[in-house]
Structure 1
């Protein structure tokens, strides 16, 4: 048996520090080595105890969690999981270097706390394997090479841990004059709409949380709701999406495989599939199906992935035509569209 994962819990609430500490300690592979009530206390304990993973509240006195992570990363690039109420601030935390987030439970509900702890334990184990990726500006693309793209094509993207930032960087550097994009990002249902709204504001695309019957259009991005699967359907020369509740696939709803399988059947050689950073193997079989149906496929490389799980699984089964670093994915997509 390997060494236990050492966790530092940072939260200004003594009650919640205990909830986190006791919950995490139930798992035999995890040990809470220290608890901190504010970021200054945490810095001292990080240097003293050398944790593998930090759980961090966002709203704290003296210094909020986002500023703490921003200051922490250059000196101590430790994987951080943000523990937050439902708020767009989690995306700010991911932007400055956190690897993932969990939503605070209703502490009056034993079931809510149990589900929260289960989710947190899974994410702590993923974070232990995660790479803290330094933030860097990605150059804008020359759009002249994609000005004559046929509107019949579709681009499908799947991601999990580290994916919100990866997707932002890809969209930020893609020209608007490209086919419609469908995305599955593993994300809680309360956050998928926030994520879509944020991308809509920060990129030149029209980004929407997908609804049943939405059509893909040039310059439009549709993101699967956080608790529903998404498929595409060809209607003549256009593609329409369907979103629906269903059983988890590969442990996830929405599942990347569900989307990719539909794109393989409906899009075939008119489609491009991209698998980005993420824990596990969701998307590998679907991307392979896409490739077998004539789609072109790309995967994020190990060096730029926060967690090289999903891209690795897809690469190992032969689903990935080319592996590229994150800052080259946009260019790779444009090359396939020529």
Structure 2
């Protein structure tokens, strides 16, 4: 059963959409919200698997709310709106579905069928997105026997540390999490096309990574794509880890290729920054640059320290410019970072590393 939050400023439309979604066996509306601010609090309280968003809402319109949601709390979102002209744009903003509201005179069963078809087509994404979440406040608190403590898998269990015997090709590896979507966009807007290959692991749900890769590509001179297995690393290109696979690289003759791993989460994430950084250390060693950006937790710290100790150039985003100063802080405390850099300057540091001015 997938839980849904319905956001719409119209009480009657909230009730109609709720009833239609509740009639689908696999879905249940756990609550509704009348505007973006009400929705923000209810997302924290109920941790729904999916939200539906209206565009025309008071205080903050649905497009702005959607962009903020994708920046701060990425999750599956479907826009249900009468503004069909927005249908294509909202996918660029991170939505995974668009359902037009009924036109004048259109039978409600037709609208209900649109909702049902869209949500059922998204179950493949929701299966991958749905994680063990903190117990919602409206649920009984006597079910602790059903809760699991997630074992934190070390990168050794997925990708053993080997270290490159000789430095390989120059490349840049970037890790980020909460706040990383908008932060990466800011960095990539400033990057030229003549850089070494760039590898990115951003903690992002399955189904969002491909559209995010397109956003990066549209906002940069670098050619950005969601990584697929066996892609040859090329200068001027960037490769984003899919939302449900670890991104690694391996040497093949004189070339380096992407290799996707469908294994357990590492450091509680899949894709994991630790897996990417460990792979880069194994393959190219001291020829690499590793960048740790905004994010919660400590994913990437283990392998970034290995890269640092192996002679790679490592930088971390500073506290002032982070949405969450978790991952960079852990890496800094571990002694894994050479330079601490403001978000606005990260692109310049990448350019200078690429030209040999920083190492």
TM-score bracket for this pair, using the shorter chain length = 0.5 to 0.7
1:226 aligns to 2:223 (yes or no): no
Deviation at 1:89, TM superposition (A): 3.2
Deviation at 1:278, TM superposition (A): 0.9
5 Å-filtered alignment, 1:1-338, equals 11-12=7-8, 13-14=14-15, 15=18, 36-37=33-34, 39=35, 57=51, 59-60=53-54, 62-63=56-57, 64-67=61-64, 84-85=77-78, 89=90, 92=93, 116=130, 118-119=132-133, 152-337=169-354, 338=356
Deviation at 1:329, TM superposition (A): 0.6
Unaligned runs of 5+ in 1: 1-8, 23-34, 74-78, 95-103, 123-150
Q: Aligned in 2, Cα 1:327/1:237: closer, same or farther, shift over 3 Å? A: farther
CA RMSD of aligned residues (A): 3.9
What is the distance in 2 between the residues matched to 1:115 and 1:189?
6
Cα deviation per residue 1:161-200 (whole Å; 9 max; x = unaligned)? 1111111111111121110001111111211111112222
Larger Rg belongs to: 2
What is the distance in 2 between the residues matched to 1:89 and 1:245?
30
> Per the alignment, in what secondary structure is the counterpart of residue 190 of structure 1?
coil
Retained in 1: the 8 A contact 2:249–2:256? yes
Retained in 2: the 8 A contact 1:65–1:93? no
What is the distance in 2 between the residues matched to 1:69 and 1:191?
13
What is the distance in 2 between the residues matched to 1:203 and 1:168?
8
Match of 1:101 in 2: none
Q: Aligned in 2, Cα 1:21/1:306: closer, same or farther, shift over 3 Å? A: farther
Unaligned runs of 5+ in 2: 9-13, 80-87, 96-117, 137-167
What is the distance in 1 between the residues matched to 2:248 and 2:242?
12
Q: Aligned in 2, Cα 1:121/1:234: closer, same or farther, shift over 3 Å? A: farther
Deviation at 1:203, TM superposition (A): 1.3
What is the distance in 2 between the residues matched to 1:252 and 1:50?
25
Q: Aligned in 2, Cα 1:121/1:216: closer, same or farther, shift over 3 Å? A: farther
Cα deviation per residue 1:179-233 (whole Å; 9 max; x = unaligned)? 0001111111211111112222221111111111111111000111111111111
Q: Aligned in 2, Cα 1:304/1:61: closer, same or farther, shift over 3 Å? A: closer
What is the distance in 1 between the residues matched to 2:52 and 2:43?
19
What is the distance in 1 between the residues matched to 2:76 and 2:207?
14
